[in-house]
Structure 1
Amino acid sequence: MKVKTPTPAVLSAAVAILQPYIPELSPHNLIEALKNHNPAEPKEAVKQQPLTRQEVAKLLRISLNTVNRYLNQGKLQRVQLSSHAVRISPESVDTLLNNQK
């Protein structure tokens, strides 16, 4: 991908916004990172493990009661490991997140 060099004002603004999160960032580093970024590279598909109710609650920033309600309503998909152990499909969490936007 060919990167068009941003104007000095845009470059300066971008660096100012990102520096609190990346203190070592400079305009030169940002240009190099943009040039080296290749979104077309295929990423390895990683099979995600089923999530616990607590993990889903933390990820979605909701209560355990809401997680249980979503499970009962079918908004989240149960993965039954045993008669007592329940996990939640990460795909159903992704689907729920994408449908809320």
Structure 2
Amino acid sequence: MKQDICIAGLLINEKSQQAPQVQQVLSKYGKLILHRSGIPYSDCDRGLINVTMKASEEELQNFKAELNRIGGVKVESLCLIDDADELNTCETR
């Protein structure tokens, strides 16, 4: 199955209420996550999470759909490399 390298950005409103559900989804897809970083906005009860993933189109869409079903969560993504196997190919000069 072809996997892409993608970045997903999550905006979490009502972080104190939504964080457990968001963490559950992140853990479920943990094997696909290469990197995760977060920025808390505690004064506003919000948070931002950036996730870099190696995932198929279907896996990415399922990940986003599960997160978007959580109230107060918005997810956007972009793919940097259409086929992660390209990272393993080096050109010699």
TM-score (norm 1): 0.23
Bigger fraction of residues in helix = 1
RCO comparison, higher one (Cα < 8 Å, 6+):
2
Indicate the structure (1 or 2) with the bigger Cα radius of gyration. 1
